[in-house]
């Protein structure tokens, strides 16, 4: 049975997320610590949310515990808490400190890399992302998942420099689609702002030699959600238009805009939203970036994603695994 109150929910591509026939107290694989944390969060939510009596709390609790299946730490349940907040009231949301760079090899030789929000110069983070790609490629990754969920922005340039081997040595986006737009260029471990006159301003670079993939154009699945914003959206756009690439999740936050500074006579600076970001083909966003496939089930915000109940990553991994490079040898 499908539907918001049913035991199963159709999420994408015919994939069904079904509740087990056990109570929340019997949900397997969660540590007592994570279970208590999630239970407490749901109890608080139910006690303080407006119009609580209009919410189907048994459905919310069952689904939240399913989403958090396998959680070991408190933060492993963040995705379940975020889902419950949105389900109870669309204006409710979770504020939490996101995890850092995370990477692992998934079943089927699929390399998984989480690119978090990066603030400041971000060179160590760029090195970590680049190093993760190098390690997974050396270990035989046939395809990739780049997780940009909960990446709310910060400095886009170390993100581009770190993920560069997957983007390729090319123009990967721009601030607008006009002939005079500043473009984003990745080459040999560095991310540049390419001016209309051809000048390159090095915006960020890794330390050490750049990695080049064994397969120049492997399949890449990009994960995104409603928290992915600003520079996180720039990263989504950097992959859009890349061949052998698909995106999964939910539409982004809606801050994929290009800002320009305008000085006033007394030195004050007006930062003006003058246009939209564009992908490598010059196609502009409309502020939000929409995935190729909607999978509206959140995942927990913690290093070491994804758990088995991470529906977005599961659907994405299925696509990557179906590509010629990842079929059984």
Query: What domains sit in the chain, N to C, each tagged with a CATH number?
Result: 8-88 (no CATH), 102-326 (3.90.226.10)
What is the reported pLDDT for 22? 33
- The enclosing H or E element of 238 equals helix 231-239
What is the reported pLDDT for 298? 53
Please answer whether residues 19 and 27 qualify as being in contact, where contact means their C-beta atoms are separated by less than 8 angstroms.
Answer: no
Please answer whether residues 235 and 258 qualify as being in contact, where contact means their C-beta atoms are separated by less than 8 angstroms.
Answer: no
Helix axis angle, 57-67 relative to 32-48, nearest 10°? 150
Report d(CA 99, CA 323) in Å as an integer.
30
Residue in 265, 264, 292, 289 with CA at minimum distance from that of residue 278? 289
Mean pLDDT by 10 residues, the chain (329 residues): 34 38 48 94 95 93 85 80 86 73 92 92 94 97 95 93 97 85 95 92 94 96 92 96 96 84 87 86 88 73 52 90 91
- In Å, the largest CA–CA distance within the chain is 68
């Amino acid at each position: 049975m499908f539907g918001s109150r049913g035991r199963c929910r159709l999420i994408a591509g015919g994939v069904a997320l079904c509740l087990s026939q056990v109570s929340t107290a019997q949900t397997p694989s969660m540590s007592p610590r994570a279970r208590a944390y999630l239970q407490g969060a749901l109890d608080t939510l139910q006690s303080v949310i407006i119009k609580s009596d209009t919410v189907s709390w048994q459905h919310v609790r069952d689904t939240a515990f399913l989403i958090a299946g396998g959680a070991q730490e408190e933060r492993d349940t963040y995705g379940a808490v975020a889902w419950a907040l949105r389900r109870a009231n669309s204006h409710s949301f979770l504020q939490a400190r996101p995890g850092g760079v995370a990477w692992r090899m998934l079943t089927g030789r699929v390399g998984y890399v989480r690119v978090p929000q990066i603030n400041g110069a971000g060179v160590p983070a760029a090195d970590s992302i680049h190093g993760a790609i190098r390690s997974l490629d050396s270990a035989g990754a046939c395809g990739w998942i780049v997780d940009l969920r909960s990446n709310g922005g910060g400095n886009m340039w170390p993100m581009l420099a770190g993920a560069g081997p997957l983007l390729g040595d090319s123009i990967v986006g721009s601030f607008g689609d006009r002939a005079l737009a500043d473009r984003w260029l990745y080459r040999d471990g560095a991310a540049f702002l390419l001016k209309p006159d051809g000048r390159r301003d090095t915006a960020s670079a890794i330390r050490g030699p750049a990695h080049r993939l064994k397969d120049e154009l492997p399949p890449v699945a990009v994960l995104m959600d409603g928290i992915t914003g600003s520079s996180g959206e720039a990263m989504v756009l950097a992959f859009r238009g890349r061949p052998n690439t698909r995106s999964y999740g939910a539409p982004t936050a809606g801050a994929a805009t290009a800002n320009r500074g305008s000085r006033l006579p007394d030195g004050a600076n007006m930062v003006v939203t003058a246009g939209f970001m564009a992908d490598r083909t010059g196609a502009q966003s409309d502020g939000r970036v929409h995935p190729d496939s909607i999978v509206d089930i959140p995942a927990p915000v913690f290093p070491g994603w994804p758990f088995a109940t991470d529906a977005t990553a599961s659907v994405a991994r299925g696509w990557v695994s179906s590509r010629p490079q990842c079929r059984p040898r």
